[in-house]
Structure 1
């Protein structure tokens, strides 16, 4: 298996700017091509996942409960 880091070429000070400006914009025509990961399904995470799903994004929501009780009252 080969891992590809996709680190842009050039000096380290310019790598983040180059990566940001090379990204394609998301528009209504290509929303379904992208998956959005939401970490946490509490009040804010659940609302974010529901809103993004209604807007047409493929949403994957991950959560971890370390105790057998509800997270919010």
Structure 2
């Protein structure tokens, strides 16, 4: 089995910018077609799950 981490190429200080601009956005009309999984049960995970649920995403 081979894992692909999909780490962007280039210098380390530019990797986040490259990854951020290469991401595809979810059209608000299609957000019900995607299920999101929030990993983390702390305050941040709970807040993220609550916010996404309020926006209409299906959270698991």
Question: TM-score, normalization: structure 2?
Answer: 0.64
**Gapped runs of 5+ residues in structure 1?**
61-73
Larger Rg: 1
Asked if the contact 1:8–1:18 (Cα under 8 Å) also holds between the matched residues in 2, the reply is: yes
Q: In structure 1, what is the Cα distance between the partners aligned to 2:8 and 2:20?
A: 10
Shift in Å, 1:33: 2.1
More helix by share: 2
**Gapped runs of 5+ residues in structure 2?**
none
Question: What aligned pairs does 1:3-22 form with structure 2 within 5 A after superposition?
Answer: 3-22=3-22
Moved over 6 A (4+): none
Q: How many residues align?
A: 57
